[in-house]
């Protein structure tokens, strides 16, 4: 199937999941995840109405953004090394992978130098997996408190990647845990912290993520097909 057909199908599934769970479909946005995807197919997705493109690697994103400009928002979803913060604040509209204070402080300094306020999500390692990035659930609220005063960052919400399951229903408790964390953070009324966004759900499990409150779903294979190995 073509990129355009895939996007139509994903959007239908998104709308159904929103309806099933009594949510406003307009509050769930689709991100096309484009690591390893050719430029032409990214452009196809943007022409089909995708307005958020998610990249994992700063270097790869830099080339694409210089070439395509900003017909869409560019979000960073991959692990960010502190020494790449200076590029990241100039390239991206939002950084989903802020998961430690040291990185946040460097992003804040670099955003200040670039004269902008950078939107960030706090990435939470909701399953406590050693191989995944993200702040452990138990420390997430403390990290939000520590990042909140940094004037050139604006916390917009939370991001997670649950453990991988064959059956997406098994991911549900992890999505729910992120939503409950968000609700606890909202109840803390921490100044300057917004909790508008829950970035969760990928090709295999995005319908369940929407039922549990996702506001941004990150879809790669469901739009572009299987990625090349390596």
Q: Which residues pair with 122 in a beta bridge?
A: 98, 158
* Dist CA 168 CA 41 (whole Å): 27
State which of positions 57-116 bind ligand PLP (CB under 6 A). Answer: 77-78
Residue 132 is a binding residue for ligand PLP (CB under 6 A): no
Do the beta carbons of residue 137 and residue 126 sit within 8 Å? yes
DSSP run (H or E) holding 206: helix 206-211
* Contact call for residue 37 and ligand PLP (CB under 6 A): no
- Report if residue 21 touches ligand PLP, rule: CB under 6 A: no
- Helix pair 39-47, 58-68: axis angle to 10 deg: 60
Per DSSP, what are the bridge partners of residue 55? 76
Find the binder of ligand PLP among 6, 34, 156, 203 (CB under 6 A).
Answer: 203
Residue 121 binds ligand PLP (CB under 6 A): no
The window from 39-47, 58-66, 99-107, 218-226 that contacts ligand PLP (CB under 6 A) reads: 218-226
- Tell me which long-range contacts 9-15 makes (C-beta under 8 A, separation of at least 24): 9/222, 10/206, 10/219, 10/222, 10/223, 13/206, 13/207, 14/206, 14/207, 14/210, 14/217
How far apart CA 64 and CA 23 sit, in angstroms, is: 34
Residue with Cβ nearer ligand PLP (32 or 150):
32
| Binds ligand PLP (CB under 6 A): choice among 3, 14, 30, 33 | 33
Site string for ligand PLP, 156-195 (x = CB under 6 A): -----x----------------------------------
In whole angstroms, the minimum distance from the beta carbon of 20 to ligand PLP comes to 21
The verdict on 222 binding ligand PLP (CB under 6 A) reads yes
- Interface residue list for ligand PLP (CB under 6 A): 33, 35, 56, 77-78, 161, 202-204, 218-222
């Amino acid at each position: 199937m073509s990129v355009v057909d895939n996007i139509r199908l994903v959007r239908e599934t998104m709308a159904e999941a929103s309806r099933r769970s009594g949510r406003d479909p307009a509050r769930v946005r689709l991100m096309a995840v484009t690591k390893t995807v050719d430029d032409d197919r990214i452009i196809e997705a943007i022409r089909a109405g995708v307005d958020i493109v998610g990249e994992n690697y700063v270097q790869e994103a830099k080339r694409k953004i210089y070439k395509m400009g900003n017909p869409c928002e560019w979000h960073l979803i991959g692990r960010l090394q502190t020494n790449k913060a200076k590029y990241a604040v100039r390239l991206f509209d939002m950084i989903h992978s802020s998961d430690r204070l040291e990185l946040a402080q460097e992003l804040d300094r670099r955003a200040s130098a670039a004269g902008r306020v950078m939107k960030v999500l706090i990435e939470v390692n909701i399953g406590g997996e050693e191989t995944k990035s993200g702040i452990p659930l138990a420390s997430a609220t403390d990290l939000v408190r520590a990042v909140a005063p940094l004037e050139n960052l604006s916390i917009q919400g939370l991001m997670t990647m649950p453990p991988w399951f064959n059956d997406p229903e098994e991911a549900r408790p992890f999505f729910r845990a992120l939503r409950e964390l968000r609700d606890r953070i909202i109840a803390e009324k921490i100044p300057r912290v917004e909790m508008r966004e829950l970035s969760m759900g990928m090709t295999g499990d995005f319908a369940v993520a929407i039922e549990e409150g996702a506001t941004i779903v990150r879809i790669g294979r469901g739009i572009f097909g299987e990625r090349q190995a390596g």
